[in-house]
Structure 1
Amino acid sequence: MKIANGIEMLEIKANVMGRESSINPVILWDEKNVILVDTGFPGQMKEINEAIEAAGIDVNKLDTIILTHQDIDHVGNALSFVKSSENEIKVLCHEEEKKYIQGDETPVKLAKLEKNLNSLPNEMKDMYEKLKVGFGLSKVKIDEMLKDGEELTFAGGTEVIYTPGHTPGHICLYIKKSKVLIAGDLLTVNDGVLSKASPNINYDTNLSDKSLEKLKKYDIEKVICYHGGLYEKNVNERISELSLEA
């Protein structure tokens, strides 16, 4: 789905916690660069490539991957893209996420499951084992680390917003020219309503609420949520409402 000039939201079918759903990686492109923001669950590279090509974008020109955070449904195919490309693809993330994405430390949610492994029900133990394998196969070298407030040239100007809480180094991206926010998992769309991510999937919900406050200073007309897709109804007003719920 075309969101604005140089911004394409992909819609990739996925099984999320046993439910059929979809995820929404984003392609940013201009005359110089093609950037993929988040890379889906392991094994979804073919579907993502097909969605990119269907949008009329040459996937062979992909030269940058930005990972909003460390979760497996976001990092899952970064290494596959890097390995399969004839061109150099640089992988970027916030400096707080680097050690987890590269495999130097155990991803925070996997570590939490591991800590409580003996008391987990069997289905959660099975999930732990699958995540452990998935993360082990998805480790990828980070080429550049991003910082809060950093200005990227992509899509006519993109600002990095450090929004920890869902994970320690979660980021959002604000494309200034089109007033589009790529929200990662800070926000979600449920039944057409912009909402905060469930506390059950956050590393630190209090920190996530504080991060939400940071968005109030931006003029946002459209939000792309990784889970739930596009939201474009009185965005600034809705974010203010959500911040009051903190």
Structure 2
Amino acid sequence: MDVDLVVPGLYCLRPEFGQAYLWLDGRSATLVDTGIVGSGPAITALLTELDADLDRIVITHGHQDHAGSAAELRAATGAPVLAHAGDAAAIRGERPMPPPVLLDWERPLFDSIASNVPPNPPCPVDQEIAEGDVLDFGGGARVLSIPGHTDGSVAIHLPRSEVLFAGDTIANVDELMLGVFNVDRAKAIESFRRLAELGTEIACFGHGDPLIGDAGAKLRAAAAKITG
């Protein structure tokens, strides 16, 4: 697993597929997403290398490349898993994730990825989070409900450091763009535009490199180009 230092205290983790992020407050670590199943040992090894204790696992949504290793990391570290109620049942294994409504150009890409990403093992969700919740890391991390990619997608915004974890609502693959494979494209566009209005210097995505420096202006420019 490749690990990139975004800024001091923030790491981008690149498992076999997708991305996760590790935020450090001293020795207290928060993991935002977990990578696909099997990513756990590399993440626990990184925690050991950094001499950090994992205090929480925040899942931005229930897809395999974001929640796949939640169960193994929870078992290995004892860290609670936090997710929105809209996706919590799927993360627990009580029902499947609703399928996306694919655009024609997305279908071959989806088929090629879906056949190669293993399903999530069921994982308890210890805390269901919702719009307006403030989590105890990064000086107060605000939860924003941003449906569209999935019903239970969330973003995490750290106002003090102006850092945004956008999940898959926004991607930075070749260019800033609306994330693909959405259950409701109109809602996803609305959520993108909402995130673009935040005070953001650093934006972190599930796919593509983080934006470092004046991220909000770049997100607003990209949002202005999106059509329904």
TM-score by length of 1: 0.78
| Contact persistence 2:27–2:51 (CA under 8 A) | no
Amino acid at match of 1:189: N
Match of 1:66 in 2: 58
- Summarize the Cα distance change of 1:77–1:207 in structure 2 as closer, same or farther, 3 Å threshold: same
Match of 2:11 in 1: 8
Q: CA deviation at 1:146?
A: 0.8
Alignment of 1:13-28 (within 5 A): 13-14=16-17, 23-28=18-23
Secondary structure of 1:96's aligned partner: helix
Q: Higher helix fraction: Structure 1 or Structure 2?
A: 1
Match of 2:24 in 1: 29
Match of 1:105 in 2: 95
Whether 1:93 aligns to 2:96 is no
Whether 1:75 aligns to 2:67 is yes
1: CA distance, partners of 2:39 / 2:80: 19
- Summarize the Cα distance change of 1:177–1:57 in structure 2 as closer, same or farther, 3 Å threshold: farther
Match of 1:144 in 2: 127
1: CA distance, partners of 2:96 / 2:183: 13
| Contact persistence 1:96–1:169 (CA under 8 A) | yes
Match of 1:46 in 2: 41
Which of residues 213, 223, 226 is equivalent to 1:243? 223
Which of residues 159, 167, 178 is equivalent to 1:196? 178
- Summarize the Cα distance change of 1:183–1:204 in structure 2 as closer, same or farther, 3 Å threshold: same
Secondary structure of 1:69's aligned partner: coil
- Summarize the Cα distance change of 1:63–1:236 in structure 2 as closer, same or farther, 3 Å threshold: closer
Whether 1:134 aligns to 2:119 is yes
Name the larger-Rg structure: 1
Identity of aligned residues (%): 24
Amino acid at match of 2:13: L
Q: CA deviation at 1:178?
A: 1.4
Secondary structure of 1:27's aligned partner: strand
| Contact persistence 2:37–2:64 (CA under 8 A) | yes
Secondary structure of 1:84's aligned partner: helix
2: CA distance, partners of 1:89 / 1:125: 33
Alignment of 1:150-229 (within 5 A): 150-191=133-174, 193-198=175-180, 201-229=181-209
2: CA distance, partners of 1:4 / 1:233: 11
Unaligned runs of 5+ in 2: none
Q: CA deviation at 1:202?
A: 1.0
| Contact persistence 1:24–1:229 (CA under 8 A) | no
| Contact persistence 2:15–2:36 (CA under 8 A) | no
The CA RMSD over aligned residues, in Å, is 2.7
